[in-house]
C-alpha cells in the first residue's frame, strides 16, 4: 500500500467514530462495493458538512454529529434540504461581499455547481442506502422515507467537444513531448540557482525523467506508477504488471523510448540506499527517512508541476501527461478500443473524449458548409 493510501486509511479510521453508527454501516456497504479510501473520505467530508449545518440550524436535537438520530433524518422536510442547497449556493457570495469591503479578510473557497451537485449526490447515496438497501434485525430498512429522492439539482453538462477543448490547451503534443522530457533531465538545471538545488536535481533527475517518460509513453495513472515494485517490470516485453482502478489486474505496455529512461533509472536506483527488503521501484529520501523508500503520489505531482511551470506550461499536471499520451496515441493509431485497453478505461465513452482533442474535421466541415452557402448566394445574385 502506498504512503498516500496508508495515510488516507489511517485518517478514515480516525474520523468514522465521530459519525453516527449508521454512517459506519454505509461505509461498510461502500467498502463491499470496492470504493476507494479517498472516495470514502470524500463521503465523510460531505456528510460532516451537512450534519454540522443541521446542528447549526437547530434541525436536530444533537449537539454533536454522532448524536444525530435516524428518526431525525426520517422526518426531514424537502424544504429543509432545499434551504441547505441555497446555503451552499449563497454562502460564498456572502463571503465574497465581505472581501469587497474588507480585502484583508479571508474567505472560503467558492462552491461550483459541480461541487454542490457532488455534495448532494453523496447525501442521495447515503439516504438511498438507509431507505432501500439497509436492513435491521427485523428485515426492515433503517429509514421509511427518503427525502433526498425528492430533490433535483440541474448542473450544466459539459459536452465532449467542450471537454476536449479544455484538454487541448493543457497538454503536450508532437515534438513538445520529447522537448519536455529533455527539459526535465537537462533544461531544468538552468533554474537551479544554488548548489543545493543543483545537487538535488542531479540526484533525482533519472528518477523524475523516468516517471515522466513512462506516463507519456504509456498513459499510466500516477497511482499506478508510485505503486510499482521492481518485479512488476517486464523489460523484455515493455510491460508493467499493475492493479488498476477498480482493483483490476492488468499488464499494459510502454514504448521503446520510455524504456530507455526507465533502464537508466534502474541502473542508479541503488544511490537512494534502499534497504534490501525495499521492493518499490521508484524511491525517495528525506531528512527523517534517509534510506530509500517508496515515493508518494504528492511528490510526483509537485515535481511535475515544478517542471511544467519552468517549461512554460503552467497548467501541466500528472493527469495532463496521461491526456497527452492518449491524444497522441489516437492521432497516430486511430483505434479507440486499443487505447481503451491501454488506459484501463471501463467505458469506451471515456476514451472517446480524446478523439476530439486534435480533431479539426468538425471545424473544417463547418467551414466547407459556410463556403458552399456563400457560393450559392453568389450564384443567386448572378442569376438575378
| Residues ≥6 apart with Cβ < 8 Å to 136 | 142
Query: Is residue 213 domain-shared with residue 113, that is, in the same domain?
Result: no
Q: Decide if 96 contacts 110 (C-beta within 8 A).
A: yes
Residue 109 pLDDT: 47
* Residues, the chain: 384
- DSSP H helices, the chain, are 3-15, 21-32, 37-56, 70-74, 78-101, 113-128, 160-168, 175-185, 195-218, 222-226, 256-268, 297-311, 318-332, 336-343, 348-352, 361-383
Q: The domain spanning residue 200 has which CATH number? A: 1.10.443.10
Q: Write the DSSP symbol of residue 271.
A: G
- CA atoms of 21 and 168, how far apart (whole Å): 46
- CA atoms of 3 and 124, how far apart (whole Å): 31
Query: Is residue 167 domain-shared with residue 241, that is, in the same domain?
Result: yes
Q: Decide if 316 contacts 189 (C-beta within 8 A).
A: no
Query: Is residue 152 domain-shared with residue 186, that is, in the same domain?
Result: no
Query: Is residue 138 domain-shared with residue 193, that is, in the same domain?
Result: no
Residue 206 pLDDT: 97
The reply to whether 382 falls in a domain is: no
CB atoms within 10 A of CB 325: 27
- What is the pTM for the complete model shown? 0.61
Q: Decide if 348 contacts 337 (C-beta within 8 A).
A: yes
Query: Is residue 217 domain-shared with residue 310, that is, in the same domain?
Result: yes
- Residue that is last in its domain, among 130, 156, 182: 156
- CA atoms of 4 and 22, how far apart (whole Å): 27
Q: Where in the sequence numbering do the catalytic residues fall?
A: 221, 245, 319, 322, 345, 354
φ and ψ at residue 243, rounded to 5 degrees: -105, 120
Gyration radius (Cα) of the chain, Å: 26
Query: Is residue 168 domain-shared with residue 193, that is, in the same domain?
Result: yes
- Residue that is last in its domain, among 125, 156, 187: 156
| Residues ≥6 apart with Cβ < 8 Å to 5 | 37
pLDDT in tens, the chain (384 residues): 556 677 888 888 999 999 999 999 999 999 988 888 888 999 999 999 999 999 988 889 999 999 999 999 999 999 889 888 878 876 544 444 434 444 444 444 456 777 888 899 999 999 999 999 999 999 999 999 999 999 886 655 556 566 666 667 678 888 999 999 999 999 999 999 999 999 999 999 999 999 999 999 999 998 899 999 999 999 999 999 998 876 789 999 999 999 999 999 999 999 999 999 999 999 999 988 999 999 988 899 999 999 999 999 888 888 889 989 998 898 888 888 999 999 998 888 878 877 767 665 444 545 555 455 555 555 555 555
| Residues ≥6 apart with Cβ < 8 Å to 222 | 215, 297, 300, 301, 318, 319
Query: Is residue 55 domain-shared with residue 116, that is, in the same domain?
Result: yes
- CA atoms of 104 and 106, how far apart (whole Å): 6
| Three cell numbers written together for 384 | 438575378
Query: Is residue 239 domain-shared with residue 343, that is, in the same domain?
Result: yes
Query: Is residue 310 domain-shared with residue 240, that is, in the same domain?
Result: yes
Range of the domain at 355: 163-361
Give CA 54 to chain center in angstroms. 30
Could you give the angle at which helices 195-218 and 297-311 cross, rounded to 10 degrees? 100
- CA atoms of 94 and 205, how far apart (whole Å): 47
- CA atoms of 142 and 171, how far apart (whole Å): 48
- CA atoms of 265 and 65, how far apart (whole Å): 50
- CA atoms of 45 and 115, how far apart (whole Å): 12
Q: Write the DSSP symbol of residue 238.
A: T
| Three cell numbers written together for 118 | 457532488
The reply to whether 99 falls in a domain is: yes
The reply to whether 57 falls in a domain is: yes
- Residue that is last in its domain, among 133, 156, 179: 156
Residue 156 pLDDT: 55
| Three cell numbers written together for 176 | 513538445
H or E segment at 242? strand 242-244
- CA atoms of 147 and 247, how far apart (whole Å): 34
φ and ψ at residue 63, rounded to 5 degrees: -105, -15
Query: Is residue 265 domain-shared with residue 176, that is, in the same domain?
Result: yes
Query: Is residue 148 domain-shared with residue 242, that is, in the same domain?
Result: no
Query: Is residue 280 domain-shared with residue 346, that is, in the same domain?
Result: yes
The reply to whether 372 falls in a domain is: no
Residue with cell 537508466: 264
Number of folded domains in the chain?
2
Amino acid at each position: 500500500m502506498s504512503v498516500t493510501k496508508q495515510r488516507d486509511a489511517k485518517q478514515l479510521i480516525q474520523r468514522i467514530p465521530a459519525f453516527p453508527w449508521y454512517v459506519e454501516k454505509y461505509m461498510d456497504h461502500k467498502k463491499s462495493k470496492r470504493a476507494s479510501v479517498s472516495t470514502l473520505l470524500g463521503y465523510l467530508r460531505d456528510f460532516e458538512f451537512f450534519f454540522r449545518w443541521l446542528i447549526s440550524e437547530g434541525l436536530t436535537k444533537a449537539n454533536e454529529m454522532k448524536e444525530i438520530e435516524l428518526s431525525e433524518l426520517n422526518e426531514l422536510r424537502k424544504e429543509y434540504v432545499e434551504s441547505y442547497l441555497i446555503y451552499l449556493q449563497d454562502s460564498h457570495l456572502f463571503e465574497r461581499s465581505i472581501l469587497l469591503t474588507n480585502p484583508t479578510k479571508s474567505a472560503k473557497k467558492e462552491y461550483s455547481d459541480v461541487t454542490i451537485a457532488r455534495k448532494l449526490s453523496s447525501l442521495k447515496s447515503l439516504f438511498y442506502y438507509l431507505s432501500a438497501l439497509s436492513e435491521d434485525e427485523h428485515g426492515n430498512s433503517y429509514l421509511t422515507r427518503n427525502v433526498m429522492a425528492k430533490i433535483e439539482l440541474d448542473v450544466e453538462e459539459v459536452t465532449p467537444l467542450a471537454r476536449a477543448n479544455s484538454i487541448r490547451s493543457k497538454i503536450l503534443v508532437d515534438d513538445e513531448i520529447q522537448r519536455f522530457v529533455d527539459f526535465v533531465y537537462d533544461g531544468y538545471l538552468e533554474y537551479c540557482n544554488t548548489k543545493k538545488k543543483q545537487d538535488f536535481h542531479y540526484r533525482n533527475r533519472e528518477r523524475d525523467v523516468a516517471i515522466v517518460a513512462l506516463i507519456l509513453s504509456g498513459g499510466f495513472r500516477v497511482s499506478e506508477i508510485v505503486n510499482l515494485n521492481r518485479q512488476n517490470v517486464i523489460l523484455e516485453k515493455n510491460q508493467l504488471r499493475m492493479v488498476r482502478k477498480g482493483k483490476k489486474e492488468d499488464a499494459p505496455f510502454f514504448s521503446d523510448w520510455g524504456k530507455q529512461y526507465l533502464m537508466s533509472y534502474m541502473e542508479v536506483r541503488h544511490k537512494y540506499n534502499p534497504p534490501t527488503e525495499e521492493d518499490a521501484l521508484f524511491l525517495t529520501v528525506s531528512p527523517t527517512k534517509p534510506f530509500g523508500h517508496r515515493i508518494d503520489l504528492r511528490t510526483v505531482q509537485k515535481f511535475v508541476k515544478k517542471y511544467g511551470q519552468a517549461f512554460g506550461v503552467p497548467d501541466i499536471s500528472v493527469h495532463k501527461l496521461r491526456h497527452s499520451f492518449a491524444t497522441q496515441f489516437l492521432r497516430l493509431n486511430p483505434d479507440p478500443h486499443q487505447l481503451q485497453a491501454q488506459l484501463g478505461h471501463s467505458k469506451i465513452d471515456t476514451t472517446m473524449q480524446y478523439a476530439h482533442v486534435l480533431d479539426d474535421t468538425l471545424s473544417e466541415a463547418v467551414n466547407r458548409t459556410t463556403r458552399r452557402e456563400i457560393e450559392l448566394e453568389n450564384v443567386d445574385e448572378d442569376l438575378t
